[in-house]
Chains A and B, each alone.
Chain A
């Protein structure tokens, strides 16, 4: 399919003539196929639905007329659970949400808690957070390259993607102690200081990944079959993206440069030099290319972080928030009491409500917390980017083929843990 300059027509606002199949499960069972039209369910647990996503597709032959993403199979009750856990336990809870980029979940939760507490973490903690989240962005986008390749039949890319991600996870394990679900970024700072020699390890990883990205270019970017499968497929306009509230690489693929790291800065991003990667056609190929180039940009960012990492405390020295170091417990009754109180009761957070958002690999990840002055959130709501981004599927899939639907789901890069919080 040739790429043209014409922007996709905007169907988002048409209420009656919408590509969204608004049909309940009960009604779908009574649907009588006619005129070659049928309703087909794809997933849950279809290999290309990226987890437990189910798609109801209204097909005419092999063409998708209307579709509807059906979610909820993984519902974890994370928000309800969050109301029963203290702020100290909260990071352990939210990190399980987006399992491909868990550190962003912890970051959003911690920043929201800190905003309510009115505290500011030391510079070293800020920079460690940036280092970890950018590393996490790399591993997340490498996972996307792997699954995108797998969905399109480029199995070697799947193997390469996992191969490059693995040392990244090992590096995160060396720093945080766990490969995934780290619980490392916590309200008040980070759990531990960086290990000795981290600069060399991180630099070695960056040096190893960078030439591999060029190999992907040779393998995929210029490859005719790959381009045929992606170019012009699943195109969406910037106008539609904004109407749907879509953020992240999907919005940027339309040429709309919007990145919270640059436009609503958090942490110390204003001190770094980086570019916001944008596409121009809003199709699957642009979304692939954006994520590939964002890995390069993250490498560029991490190199600057290695140079500029400040020294000092890695967590705030506030006895009410930070538990005393293990060594102090042996010699001080006061420290023991503080340690006990923080880990049993947790610390109290002033009443109020706050919304804090960070730029996760999938878009704006927001955390809304209502505090009633106790040590547990009264209400914790997570604005998951995948949840909102999934709404683009019917619009992208209209008049596409079933095979294109696979490429389109892949290019949205949804993580179902975040969709079904």
Chain B
């Protein structure tokens, strides 16, 4: 995977869904390796699976049966202002949100990562609570920070922010808080 190439040079146009959905699958789709039926890529030497929301739970269960019994991390990413995503495999359409799940297998020691695309219009995804109860706090944090709702989570409430807080702070359209300063007019960071 060419990480350092600019988005223009990437074979699959990533940020605009239409060309990707049509052109990407023509030749890239067949060479694309899969695991449990979903595309798998190597991202700096690490294994990354790209299930969609429908196959997500099935893939996690299949991986659990394979030995990936511990879920160490769940987090969200908001790709709203990302200039162009060249690291998605063919056939995966980039959406605004992404839920990233880290699984670990103890014997032999290895990791996999799952990246699930979650559209902005319908930011919901199934909860992993019934498979890995340890995701309870992590999914609550992802909900709090990004507004991604985890279906069938036992306690889908805010965790870091106060209960009556409005908005989801780690979204890219939620501005960084700042103390008012005397001399204004400087461009905001990023």
Binding site for B on A (CB under 8 A): 12-13, 15, 18, 20, 22, 24-26, 71-72, 75, 77, 79-81, 83-84, 115-116, 118, 242-247, 258, 263-264, 350-355, 357, 364, 366, 368, 370, 372-373, 376, 378-379, 381, 383, 387-388, 390-391, 420
Contacts and interface: CB of A to CB of B under 8 A. Distances in A.
Contact of B134 (A72, A372, A391): A391
Best-surrounded residue of A247, A263, A355 (most CB of chain B within 10 A): A355
Contacts of A22: 154-155
Interface in B127-150: 129-130, 132-138, 141, 145
Contacts of A372: 82-83
Contacts of A80: 169-170, 176
A15 B155 CA distance: 11
A67 B75 CA distance: 25
Interface stretch (B19-27, B54-62, B159-167, B179-187): B159-167
Interface string B76-113: 01100011001100000000000010100010010101
Question: 8 closest A-B pairs (Cβ-Cβ)?
Answer: A245-B134, A244-B134, A350-B4, A22-B155, A350-B3, A72-B160, A381-B75, A84-B189
Best-surrounded residue of A83, A372, A379 (most CB of chain B within 10 A): A379
B70 interface: yes
Best-surrounded residue of A26, A351, A420 (most CB of chain B within 10 A): A351
Chain B, interface SS category: loop
Given A71-B159, A353-B87, A366-B72, A79 B44 contact: no
A373 B169 CA distance: 23
B133 A72 contact: no
Given A242-B69, A245-B135, A352 B77 contact: no
Given A13-B133, A75-B161, A388-B138, A84 B176 contact: yes
A373 B4 contact: yes
Contacts of A366: 72-73, 102
B139 to A, nearest CB: 12
B72 A383 contact: yes
B43 interface: yes
Contacts of A13: 130, 133
Contacts of A75: 160-161
Contacts of A81: 176
29 contacts: A20-B155, A22-B154, A22-B155, A72-B159, A72-B160, A80-B170, A80-B176, A115-B44, A243-B132, A264-B111, A352-B3, A352-B44, A353-B43, A353-B48, A353-B87, A354-B43, A355-B100, A355-B102, A355-B113, A364-B72, A366-B72, A368-B100, A368-B102, A373-B6, A383-B72, A387-B137, A387-B138, A388-B137, A390-B137
A355 B163 contact: no
Nearest to A13: B133
Contacts of A264: 109, 111
Given A246-B134, A388-B138, A391-B136, A379 B78 contact: yes
B3 A355 contact: no
Contact of B44 (A12, A84, A118): A118
Given A24-B163, A75-B161, A243-B133, A354 B190 contact: no
Contacts of A388: 72, 134, 137-138
B106 A263 contact: yes
Given A80-B169, A244-B133, A381-B75, A352 B102 contact: no
Nearest to A74: B160
Contacts of A350: 3-4
A390 to B, nearest CB: 7
Contacts of B75: 368, 381, 383
A90 B157 CA distance: 30
A370 B189 CA distance: 18
A77 B177 CA distance: 9
A12 B133 contact: yes
A91 B109 CA distance: 28
A382 B176 CA distance: 18
Given A72-B162, A376-B190, 5 more contacts: A71-B159, A354-B44, A357-B72, A381-B77, A383-B73
A244 B138 CA distance: 11
Best-surrounded residue of A15, A18, A352 (most CB of chain B within 10 A): A352
Given A80-B170, A263-B109, A388-B134, A352 B43 contact: yes
Best-surrounded residue of A72, A258, A383 (most CB of chain B within 10 A): A72
Given A26-B163, A350-B3, A370-B77, A84 B190 contact: yes
Contact of A24 (B70, B138, B157, B189): B157
A126 B129 CA distance: 38
A284 B43 CA distance: 40
A15 B72 CA distance: 20
B170 A242 contact: no
A391 B4 contact: no
B45 to A, nearest CB: 8
A260 to B, nearest CB: 9
A383 B82 contact: no
A161 B141 CA distance: 34
B46 interface: yes
Contact of B4 (A24, A84, A351): A351
Contacts of B158: 72
B169 A77 contact: yes
